[in-house]
Structure 1
């Protein structure tokens, strides 16, 4: 019987090569074989808390090759137990024989694949000479987004904004050995009109990025605001930009950054230029001019999890 490999967050953190993972994701989005059904969302009672919890199941299949499912629970009151509200595991399978090949901790898997997906989009949408980045947000994704973007563009200057200067400085301290400078800032408006790329990964319910601040040629990468009634960028930012999604399947249904302007008539579905499937298979183009402002909305997709699980599994086996 085949041994089930246990792949930890620490292995994923230490063995991630963003350039390689981004290339694998590009191949995955260009593929016509990977199948991804809609994710399962189940709310269930949690009597001890008198509040529902949620179970999310996110499957993907590459027939005859591999398959996987991410299992995530959301328990909103977990803070009082000193536990994260969101916890998860990824089960990676042999799609031919059905056996489990590996179990991966989902936290680092998700942050690495999410950051790499944003950088993949940037490779189509940001200017090739983009050298400066503003990171809005200081959560688990912030450091990864900076590193991933810097792997596809010649970044020399990074600015970080968070709810506290201390948290922003902590991100910069964690990147003190990077090839680019990293500076914590207290005001988004001070730098947002200067940088080439703006990456935003927050839980803010209301916009932090305003279109009046944007300049020609910028690329806007929106990763937070995963609920239908929350958003990170305002209507003017949408109107001034060419809009792209990771997938139509999720992007048109899950995030207020797209849903709110769609529902209010600010934009129509026809205004959305392309998703990553179309960019990666070459059927549609990304940036078309040096002055264009590009706007990418990521909500996540199970294809990304499967590709990342395959990448880290192969790294794990080769390092044994």
Structure 2
């Protein structure tokens, strides 16, 4: 059994290769992924953590399972809120092929999925990317989006200006024209693409801030009580998702649907449908929205690429 640590995962999953692997995997539809299991874990002191179990397989080729913990209280302690591990098995005889550090795997495949969606949904002339959030995913989504579009500016906003500045400096060191944004509204109004990677339970992104032709990438909120956008941001856009069942359970879509403001039937396409020819962006003025919560297929495809070296 091979063991891949954080550095090895990042080295194996370059953005163009990973995005291409996801595109090919979704287009083929070979991977099978049951609904993930989400378990609430009550902690001493009244906090609640979440345990996610996410299996997927491609018959005769590979079987994988990711186990994820979400401890929202860790943010106040300066610790990672999400931790994960991945086991990959041979699909022909069932032996364990690899143990893979799950945080890097999750960050890379999550960002790559948004970048894949961006290939179909973001204007070719997009020049300003705003990243909302400064946690584990902020660097990855900026790099992944920059792999499919050429941005003149990357704005980073976070509740902590110091963290936003650190992320911006790190991105600048990688060659991106990144800078910290002092004001969220201004950063959104300036953006062609807004990518949100927060654990917010209240809308942060207002639809009124998003100009015609913009693309909103919603990643952070994966439960019904989590939400990064207001109702207008959803209803004014053509909505796309990574997968319908999971995305409709997340607050960004579930709450507007409960209000009667959003019809789930209005979802235009998921990632598999986009890769198979479903129409993405139609013109330069429409607003698009991509809501992702993470799919087990993405983990499996990424893990297979890691193990293949």
Answer whether TM exceeds 0.5 for this pair: yes
Does 171-180 or 216-225 show the bigger shift? 171-180
Task: Quote how far apart the aligned CAs of 1:44 are.
Answer: 5.4
Task: Give the match's secondary structure for 2:173.
Answer: coil
Matched, 1:263 2:258: yes
**Do the aligned partners of residues 162 and 244 (structure 1) sit closer, same or farther apart at CA in structure 2, a change above 3 Å counting?**
same
Q: How does 1:136-285 map to 2 (within 5 A)?
A: 136-253=132-249, 255-282=250-277, 284-285=278-279
Q: Do the aligned partners of 2:169 and 2:179 also contact (CA within 8 Å) in 1?
A: no
Deviations 1:162-200 (A, max 9, x none): 111110110111122334311101101223122211111
1:38 aligned partner: 35
Matched, 1:12 2:9: yes
Task: Give the match's secondary structure for 1:215.
Answer: coil
Alignment counterpart, residue 53 of structure 2, candidates 52, 57, 60:
57
In structure 2, what is the Cα distance between the partners aligned to 1:79 and 1:240?
32
**Do the aligned partners of residues 36 and 184 (structure 1) sit closer, same or farther apart at CA in structure 2, a change above 3 Å counting?**
same
Unaligned runs of 5+ in 2: none
Task: Quote how far apart the aligned CAs of 1:41 are.
Answer: 2.8
**Do the aligned partners of residues 54 and 180 (structure 1) sit closer, same or farther apart at CA in structure 2, a change above 3 Å counting?**
closer
Q: Do the aligned partners of 2:242 and 2:292 also contact (CA within 8 Å) in 1?
A: yes
1:29 aligned partner: 26
Q: Do the aligned partners of 1:156 and 1:179 also contact (CA within 8 Å) in 2?
A: no
Task: Quote how far apart the aligned CAs of 1:13 are.
Answer: 2.6
Task: Give the match's secondary structure for 1:144.
Answer: helix
2:110 aligned partner: 114
**Do the aligned partners of residues 305 and 163 (structure 1) sit closer, same or farther apart at CA in structure 2, a change above 3 Å counting?**
same
Does 187-196 or 155-164 show the bigger shift? 187-196
Does 219-228 or 143-152 show the bigger shift? 219-228
Task: Quote how far apart the aligned CAs of 1:52 are.
Answer: 6.2
Alignment counterpart, residue 292 of structure 2, candidates 294, 298, 301:
298
In structure 2, what is the Cα distance between the partners aligned to 1:240 and 1:80?
34
**Do the aligned partners of residues 76 and 130 (structure 1) sit closer, same or farther apart at CA in structure 2, a change above 3 Å counting?**
closer
Deviations 1:280-320 (A, max 9, x none): 111x21101111100110100100000110111112xxxxx
TM-score (normalizing by structure 1):
0.91
Deviations 1:57-102 (A, max 9, x none): 1100100111100022345666899864543210011111101110
Does 213-222 or 174-183 show the bigger shift? 174-183
Task: Give the match's secondary structure for 1:225.
Answer: coil
Q: How many residues align?
A: 309
Deviations 1:129-173 (A, max 9, x none): 212101111001000000000000011210110111110110111
